[in-house]
Amino acid sequence: MAFASPWRGYDAKDLAGLAASHGVTYFKQNFSNIRFGNLAEGHESRTAKESLLRGLRGLLETQDLMRQAAPQLTLELTHEVYWGTPGVLCDLAALKHANLYHVPPNDYSGDGNRMQRYNSAWTFDQAAMQ
């Protein structure tokens, strides 16, 4: 199952059908990490970058297909889907294709040491960071 493959159409139909049959109104999708791509022998992607881009485009197309099939659905994407992607550009794309977008607190990559929780010993010039 890969967003870079035609499976994305099946996924969209399956989730829209699930919504219709059970009265679902909301899907939060954080079940996939597409950064590893689809580079198996015989797969259409020739490079890791091409695979990542195909996966991202497929994920966003799936959101559009679900919205067309079930416009009453609220669709949320979470940043877990995007780990390892180019940041803000992908965030904006997610907001264009889904209703909600969530960046979990465990994925902070801003100023400071992202491997440590913030503490008062950190010294940053706030004016310089703005």
**Number of folded domains that form the chain:** 1
Query: 81 or 10: which carries more pLDDT confidence?
Result: 10
Answer whether residue 129 is part of any domain. no
Residue 36: the pLDDT is: 62
Answer whether residue 26 is part of any domain. yes
Answer whether residue 116 is part of any domain. no
Whether pLDDT at 109 is above 60: no
- Residue 75 has phi, psi (to 5 degrees) of -110, 130
Answer whether residue 56 is part of any domain. yes
The single residue listed with the structure tokens 């219709």 is 20
Answer whether residue 128 is part of any domain. no
The single residue listed with the structure tokens 């899907």 is 27
- Condensed to tens digits (0 to 9), the pLDDT of residues 80-94 reads 655 555 566 677 777
Cβ 4 vs Cβ 62: under 8 Å: no
Answer whether residue 13 is part of any domain. yes
User: Which alpha helices (H) appear in the chain, and where do they start and end?
Assistant: 7-22, 48-69, 88-97, 126-129
Whether pLDDT at 40 is above 70: no
Q: Which domain holds residue 75?
A: 7-107
Q: What value does the mean pLDDT take over residues 64-90?
A: 77
Answer whether residue 82 is part of any domain. yes
Answer whether residue 62 is part of any domain. yes
